[in-house]
Amino acid sequence: MISVHDSSVFENRLARVRAAMSQQGVDVLLLSVGHDLPYLTGYYAMPLERLTMLVVPVDAAASMVIPRLEAPRVTEMPSVFSLVPWNETDDPVAIVAKLVGAATTIAVGDQMWARFLVELLDHCPHAHYRRAVDVVGPLRMAKDAAEIEALRAAGAAADRVAVQLHAGEIALIGRTEAQVSADISARLIEQGHDIVNFAIVAAGENAASPHHHAGPRVLKQGDIVLCDFGGTMNGYCSDMTRCVHLGDVPSDIADAYAVLHQSQAAGVAAGVVGARCESIDAASRQVINDAGYGEFFIHRTGHGIGMEAHEDPYMVSGNARLLEAGHAFSVEPGIYLPGKWGMRLEDIVVATPGGPESMNFANHSLVVL
Ligand code: ZN
Ligand code: ZN
Ligand code: ZN
């Protein structure tokens, strides 16, 4: 699925993971369902009951334990890992435990089924268990040139849908949020996405709920319509939010939107290499606080993005992590007045040595339709 890579990319990533393991005293890394596995091997485990697990000892060859019937799905890369297929009557956790051997510190992926970890605890009761995110996370956060190109392409595809929205090509008045959401989803695919991850359409008072589920509410004249959509294209995600207004914009909404627009720009501008993640949140929040809307901005300013729509690093107060070149994240402040209206403006940004680079260019104004 990650067409932008070849086996040398995976060899390089695995070498860097092993370096992090030895630095942190991790003897073996175990990855199953989730995105760390495809990041290191190109293969997405089926999220079903049968165990798939990559076993990476710090100083020996890596193996992928996989159900025999799913082995044909995997592109073997002998320089990266070998396959260990298991049969329906085997105990796959026992196979993993044998590969783990006498390792005393085991790092496990966040999304491994609890069931497998619980069974592994019986097989390796004396080991210390840690989270794999400490060894794989920093690598996944710092995107390489091919990954940034993939994010750029996904961002451009989402942008084309936003341009259609702004041009009035997506019918709004008289349709339900759910119908508009389905329309936006179809257009994301048309523009090149492989999967749609979400298409939030929230009209009027519903826009005050940041993660509103598009429903039967019919869009009508006078509504603000919040559209937050994104998908996965060649393994990397898009995610953007634009609002449009159906008919004349009342002054309270126009005033708040001007503040939101300025807040979002301030957050993007703060996304420079070496800045603390929390300073992006602070930059966006300051503008909204100063204008008196602080209590109506009820979420963090952004999340990391890459193979997953939400991943590290998070742009949130308390996150002192320093931005590095290649860190990709959303800047998405919002203002939500319960029972009345809501608004959010979101772009994806990559921190580069030359400053913050936006993946989205569609009009940032509150377009009137
Ligand atoms: Zn969200
Ligand atoms: Zn979004
Ligand atoms: Zn987002």
Q: Domains for the chain: give ranges and CATH numbers.
A: 7-140 (3.40.350.10), 142-368 (3.90.230.10)
Residue position matching structure tokens 């909404």? 253
Confidence at 144, pLDDT banded by 50, 70, 90: very high
* pLDDT (mean) for 303-317: 97
Residues 209-218 have a mean pLDDT of 94
User: How far does residue 30's CA lie from ligand 3's centre (Å)?
Assistant: 29
Residue 48 in tokens: 């079903």
Give the Cα separation of 203 and 285 in Å (integer): 24
Q: What is the pLDDT of residues 10-20, one digit of tens each?
A: 999 999 999 99
CA 159 / ligand 2 centre spacing (Å): 13
What is the pLDDT, as a whole number, of residue 6? 77
Q: Are 330 and 302 in contact (CB under 8 A)?
A: yes
Amino acid 1: pLDDT: 45
- Which ligand neighbours the alpha carbon of 210 most closely? 1
- Residue 338: asked if its preceding bond is cis (omega within 30°), the reply is no
Nearest ligand to the C-alpha atom of residue 303: 3
**6 and 80 Cβ atoms separated by less than 8 Å:** no
Averaged pLDDT, 163-181: 98
Whole-angstrom distance, CA of residue 43 vs CA of residue 82: 13
Q: Inform me whether the pLDDT recorded for 2 exceeds 90.
A: no
Name the average pLDDT for the chain. Answer: 96
Cα(52) to ligand 2 centroid in Å equals 31
Element (H, E) at 315: strand 311-315
- pLDDT value at position 4? 44
Closest ligand, as measured to the CA of 331: 3
**What confidence tier does 5 reach under pLDDT thresholds 50, 70, 90?**
low
Judged against a pLDDT cut of 80, whether residue 95 lies above it is answered with yes
Cα(47) to ligand 2 centroid in Å equals 24
Q: How far is the CA of 334 from the centre of ligand 2 (A)?
A: 11
- Tell me: pLDDT of 122 over 60: yes
Ligand lying closest to the C-alpha of residue 302: 3
The terminus-to-terminus CA distance of the chain in angstroms comes to 38
CA of 239 relative to ligand 2 center, distance in Å: 5
Q: In angstroms, rounded to a whole number, what is the distance separating the alpha carbons of residues 184 and 175?
A: 13
Give distance in angstroms: CA of 198 to centre of ligand 2. Answer: 8
Lookup: tokens for 300: 């963090």
